[in-house]
């Protein structure tokens, strides 16, 4: 039996806050010492290699399972509490729908499960916008139509936060684009916080304004996407010779590759970094930044101020690297 703790200061402002969060399965820790904040109203890309702990984090946030260590709070409350369960919508990778139920029956089920919270007209509008026949059985729908119906169920619940586990994985590029537009429009209209896990990094650019990167169960990057990109530079050029100072000196190198005398590096700037006679400096795209961190799980972690729990104990990258 647990007592539902609730911090009213976080209720509307912080969608997710983890402190010392860990989840242990029989074979080991799936999440370890995770500490981050996700401010409300963001569209957050949740990224990490296979086995990084993304689905585990989602199952903790939906209250399906509890942490083995530390805490995770949803809008200031325990995710297993009735309040948080009402506030969180979840779309699992498998998009579970009852294949024998028609679209109308599926929405009726949504209404019955969610009671007064349910927004029938919103759910119907999402279905109608995709020209899905209300009499069709869920089992007969295409992948894109199933995703649309599942999103209608999610948004009909009027969640404050929506957790989407690889929602576009089985969709063709056109339907993917259509579903992304639908998702963004619905989230913008309702102010819903969205956490979306994906392995398709290009999908995140222009969609997510916040990033949470996990590797080996730990937080590697968290914060505003543009702030994280701005903190880094891609440096390309010729390696300095004869002990001459190089462009990377004094900066944190996240990843570097060399080919002959040429190098390319992703660095976290610790000071201004200007182009030089033998190197160029560019701002990385979101995809380049994410790829560099995914390929370098031991690079020191970085959290922006808004992603750092308890501003009074601002965590440094070294704390996270430990």
Q: Is 167 in the site for ligand ATP (CB under 6 A)?
A: no
Which residues, 7 to 46, sit near ligand ATP by CB under 6 A? 25-27, 30
Q: Given the complex with ligand ATP, which of 48 and 156 has the nearer CB atom?
A: 48
Q: Judged by CB under 6 A, which stretch of 53-61, 105-113, 139-147, 264-272 contacts ligand ATP?
A: 53-61
Q: Given the complex with ligand ATP, which of 3 and 50 has the nearer CB atom?
A: 50
Q: Given the complex with ligand ATP, which of 124 and 216 has the nearer CB atom?
A: 216
In the structure encoding, which two tokens stand for residue 189, read together? 């209209």
Angle at 95 between CA 79 and CA 222, to 5 degrees: 50
d(CA 182, CA 172): 15
Q: Which residues share a beta bridge with 307?
A: none
Count residues binding ligand ATP (CB under 6 A).
12
Give me the least distance between CB of 51 and ligand ATP, in Å please: 4
Q: Return the number of other C-beta atoms located less than 10 Å from residue 317's C-beta.
A: 14
d(CA 295, CA 49): 9
Give me the least distance between CB of 162 and ligand ATP, in Å please: 17
Q: Which of 22, 41, 53, 89 binds ligand ATP (CB under 6 A)?
A: 53
Q: Which residue carries 């903790």 as its tokens?
A: 60
Give me the least distance between CB of 93 and ligand ATP, in Å please: 7
217 three-class SS = coil
d(CA 78, CA 141): 36
Strands 88-91 and 232-238: unpaired
Q: Given the complex with ligand ATP, which of 48 and 79 has the nearer CB atom?
A: 48
Strands 161-165 and 88-91: parallel
d(CA 214, CA 77): 23
Q: Which of 50, 121, 312, 313 binds ligand ATP (CB under 6 A)?
A: 50
Q: Which residues share a beta bridge with 266?
A: 234, 255
Q: Which of 12, 51, 206, 250 binds ligand ATP (CB under 6 A)?
A: 51
Q: Given the complex with ligand ATP, which of 54 and 90 has the nearer CB atom?
A: 54
Q: Is 54 in the site for ligand ATP (CB under 6 A)?
A: yes
Give the residues lining the site for ligand ATP (CB under 6 A): 25-27, 30, 48, 50-56
């Amino acid at each position: 039996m647990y007592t539902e703790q609730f911090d009213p200061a976080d209720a509307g402002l912080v969608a997710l806050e983890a402190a010392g969060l860990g989840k242990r399965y029989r074979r080991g820790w799936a999440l370890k010492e995770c500490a981050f904040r996700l401010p409300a109203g963001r569209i957050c890309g949740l990224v990490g290699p296979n086995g990084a702990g993304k689905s585990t984090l989602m199952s903790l946030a939906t209250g399906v399972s509890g942490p083995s260590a530390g805490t995770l709070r949803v809008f200031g409350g325990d995710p297993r509490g009735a309040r948080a369960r009402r506030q969180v919508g979840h779309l699992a990778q498998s998009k579970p729908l009852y294949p024998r139920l028609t679209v109308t029956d599926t929405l009726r089920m949504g209404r019955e499960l969610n009671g007064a919270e349910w927004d029938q007209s919103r759910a119907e509008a999402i279905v109608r916008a995709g020209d899905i026949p209300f009499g069709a059985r869920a089992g007969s729908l295409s992948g894109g139509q199933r995703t649309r119906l599942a999103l209608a169920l999610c948004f009909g619940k009027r969640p404050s936060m929506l957790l989407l586990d690889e929602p576009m994985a089985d969709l063709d590029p056109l339907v993917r684009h259509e579903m992304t537009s639908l998702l963004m429009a619905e989230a913008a209209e309702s102010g819903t916080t969205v956490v979306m896990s994906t392995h398709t990094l290009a999908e995140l650019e222009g969609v997510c304004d916040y990033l949470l990167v996990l590797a080996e169960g730990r937080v590697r990057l968290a914060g505003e996407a543009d702030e994280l990109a701005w903190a880094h530079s891609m440096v390309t050029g010729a390696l300095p010779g004869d002990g001459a100072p190089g462009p990377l000196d004094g900066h944190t190198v996240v990843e570097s590759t060399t080919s002959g005398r040429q190098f390319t590096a992703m660095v976290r700037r610790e000071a201004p970094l200007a182009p030089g006679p033998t190197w160029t400096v560019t701002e990385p795209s979101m995809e380049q930044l994410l790829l560099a961190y995914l390929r370098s799980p031991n690079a020191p972690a970085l959290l922006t101020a808004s992603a750092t729990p308890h501003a009074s104990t601002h965590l440094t990258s070294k704390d996270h690297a430990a």
